[in-house]
Amino acid sequence: MSTTMSDFQKSFLSRGGMTVYTQKEFDAHLAKAQAQIMQVAIDTTKTAIVIEREECAKIVDEMRKEMESPDMPMVMDIALANLAEKIRNRLKK
């Protein structure tokens, strides 16, 4: 049995206004759609990670501002500033 349809068979079956695909055509379109969905999921996840990383760095910045006083060692201020920067730039290459 043939796995492809003739133009006549496609025309006959699609008279209801629907496009008819062979299994091979369907599989190709399905694979393309799956790849597009995965790409959107990957991009969305990357965006969420960047947003979360920035928010974590803001928490460190706020903590640093709250701790500002003449008694706070300069080393602590520099360490917190470096920590916020490391959070923002984590995994960037």
CA atoms within 13 A on the CB side of 26: 8
Annotated domain spans of the chain: 19-89
At residue 11, the pLDDT reads: 73
If you search the block for the tokens 């969420």, which residue do you land on? 48
- Our CA dihedral for 23, 27, 30, 36, rounded to 10 degrees, sits at -150
pLDDT band for position 3 (50/70/90)? low
CA distance 26 to 29: 5
Q: Which two tokens stand for residue 44?
A: 């969305």
At residue 2, the pLDDT reads: 57
Q: Which two tokens stand for residue 34?
A: 């799956």
Task: Express each pLDDT in 9-34 by its tens digit.
Answer: 777 766 766 777 788 999 999 999 99
Task: Express each pLDDT in 41-78 by its tens digit.
Answer: 999 999 999 999 999 999 999 999 888 888 778 888 89
